[in-house]
Amino acid sequence: MKRLYIVLFLLTALCMSIFAKDTVVQLSAPNKTGGKSLLQSLSERHATRDFSDKPISLEILSNLLWATWGINRPDGHRVAPTAKNKQEVIVYAAKNDGVWRYEAASHSLTKVLDKDYRADFGNSTVSFVYAAPQGELDPLHVGALFQNAGLYSASINLGNIVRQKYIGVLEGKLPLPEGYKIYITQSFGWPKEETK
C-alpha cells in the first residue's frame, strides 16, 4: 500500500510539472541595447495593417513586453508611467498557442486561454489586449503602454496597429479581476514588404 501511495505521489508530481511547463513561459532577459534612436523611432512610427506570416520570435516578444510594461527599476517601477504609481494594467498576449498574461515581476507569461484567436484579431502574429480597472485615469495608463509598444516596434521595423474594433474578441473569456474591462487591443507583425 505504501508503494502505491509513493507511485501515485510521483505520478501527480510528474503531471503537475508537465502542466506547469505548458502554462508558464519564462521569458529571456530583455535586450536593452540596439534598435533605432528614440527620435528616429518617433519619426518612423506609423500604423501597419498588413502583416506577413513571418513569426515574431520569443526574444522579440520578450523585448516588446518589457518595453510595454516591464520593470525598469529595483523599486518595481515600470517603463510606462502611471499616476500615483498605480500599476493595475494587465497585458494579455494572443499568440498561436493561446492567450497569455504578462507577469512583469517574473518577466514571464502565464497561459489563461488555450485557443488560437489570431484570426479574430485580423490575422496578426501577436495581439496585445489591455485591461484595467474602470478608473478615470486608467485609459491614460493604457495609452502610455501602447505608445511604448509602438515606439519599440518602430525601433525594430515591427508593424503594429492599435484597434478598438477587437475589444469584444475576448470579452467574457479572459479571467479579468472584478471591476476590470478591456480598453483596447494592439496587433503586431512583420510588414508584408519586409519578407523576401
Query: Could you read off the pLDDT of 118-128 as tens digits, one per residue?
Result: 999 999 999 99
pLDDT for residue 14 is more than 80: no
pLDDT for residue 16: 41
pLDDT for residue 149: 98
pLDDT for residue 164: 95
For residue 126, with 0-12 CB atoms within 10 Å meaning exposed, 13-18 middle and 19 or more buried, which class applies?
buried
pLDDT for residue 2 is more than 50: yes
Distance CA 31, CA 166 (A): 30
Express each pLDDT in 16-55 by its tens digit. 444 444 699 999 999 999 899 999 999 999 999 999 999 9
Which single residue is written with the C-alpha cell 512583420?
190
Which single residue is written with the C-alpha cell 523576401?
196
Express each pLDDT in 159-181 by its tens digit. 999 999 999 999 999 999 999 99
Query: pLDDT grade, residue 15 (50/70/90)?
Result: very low
Distance spanning both ends of the chain, measured CA to CA? 64
Express each pLDDT in 62-89 by its tens digit. 999 999 999 999 999 999 999 999 999 9
pLDDT for residue 103: 98
User: How many H-runs (helices) and E-runs (strands) does the chain carry?
Assistant: 4, 7
User: Quick one: which H or E segment has residue 25?
Assistant: strand 24-26
Please give the CATH topology (third level) of the domain spanning 24-194: NADH Oxidase (3.40.109)
Query: What phi and psi, each to the nearest 5 degrees, are found at residue 15?
Result: -60, -40
Please, which residues bridge with residue 184 across strands?
130
pTM confidence score: 0.87
Cβ atoms of 134 and 180 within 8 Å: the answer is yes
Interval 113-141 mean pLDDT: 96
- Residue type at 194 in one-letter notation: E
